[in-house]
Amino acid sequence: MERSNPPAELTPAVAQKLTATFKATGESVWQIDYIKRALAEQSHNKCSFCECELGIESKYLEVEHFAYKGSYPEEVVAWDNLIAACRRCNGKKGVHDVRVEPIVNPYANNPRDHIRMQAYRLQSLTPVGDLTISVLGLNDIQRAMTARFKIGAQIGETLEQLKEKIEFYKEKQSALRRAKVANCLDALLNECLKRSPYAATAATVLHRESIYPELKEQLIVLQIWTVEFQELHDSSLALVLQKPAP
């Protein structure tokens, strides 16, 4: 994830005042609409840790302090320390001290340097990855793995549909059938973009399905695969939870 500039309202003077208030009273000075809005925009309205969509099914955006506010009160509204998270991840992380025992910082690290996905389970590649998975409970069956499994099944289903639509188009190359192929491909690749919930899972599944490169080849031959589709493909590749082969 990329860190944008702090919201215009959060000037150094305002930040200083809020920090002083927090230190004196313990008030939740970070609960400000403009902070939440800016964080939501940056994270595409997703939890920065588990990728769930915020604002639905009681999953509201919480302002997470990467360095715990109780231990690092100076950073209570430091822009670089604030992260959009769901209640579950924010709660799981709790008072964990990332300065003593680092976990993946979604703004500073590329998750795939530390974590990969195998059959919807996350596996650590490094001690940092191991701690991230454990502290945030990213392999909890109920909340985390089921959601990943669902999105993976959906990608598989859309690939099947795309295959059918391509066959259909090959039988009779009408504009309508061609448009249906293109729309299906567009929907598929859009599931794997940063802004989509569980995009890392979706992209990982897509690029591991052996049928995908086959369909891509066919689409190139049929001249349906455009520069735009190639760009969407490349963006999705960047999210795959597996280090690219050297």
Burial class (CB in 10 A: 0-12, 13-18, 19+), 81: buried
> How many other CB atoms sit within 10 Å of the CB of residue 25?
9
Cβ contacts of residue 152 below 8 Å, gap of 6+? 120, 201, 202, 205
Tokens found for residue 223: 């001249």
Contact with Zn ion (CB under 5 A): which of 50, 82, 138, 202?
Answer: 50
* From 1, 39, 44, 49, residue interacting with Zn ion (rule: CB under 5 A): 49
- Quote the least distance from Cβ 43 to Zn ion, whole Å: 10
170's CB contacts (< 8 A; 6+ apart) are 222
Q: Which of 16-24, 30-38, 85-93, 177-185 is the region at the interface with Zn ion (rule: CB under 5 A)?
A: 85-93
The DSSP secondary structure of 108-142, one letter per residue, reads TS-GGGTEEEETTEEEESSHHHHHHHHHHTTT-II
- Single out the segment in contact with Zn ion by CB under 5 A; choices: 24-32, 79-87, 101-109, 211-219: 79-87
Q: Which is nearer to Zn ion, 89 or 155 (CB)?
A: 89
The reply to whether 147 sits near Zn ion by the rule CB under 5 A is: no
Task: Establish if 84 lies at the interface with Zn ion (CB under 5 A).
Answer: no
For Zn ion, give the closer residue by CB, 6 or 197: 197
CA 78, 4, 28: angle at the middle one, nearest 5? 35
In the bound state with Zn ion, the residue whose beta carbon lies nearer, of 130 and 140, is 140
Please report whether residue 61 would count as binding Zn ion according to CB under 5 A.
Answer: no
Of 10, 38, 47, 135, which lies in the binding site for Zn ion, with binding defined by CB under 5 A? 47
**Residue whose CB is less far from Zn ion, 136 or 206:** 136
Residues lying near Zn ion in the complex (CB under 5 A): 47, 49-50, 86, 89
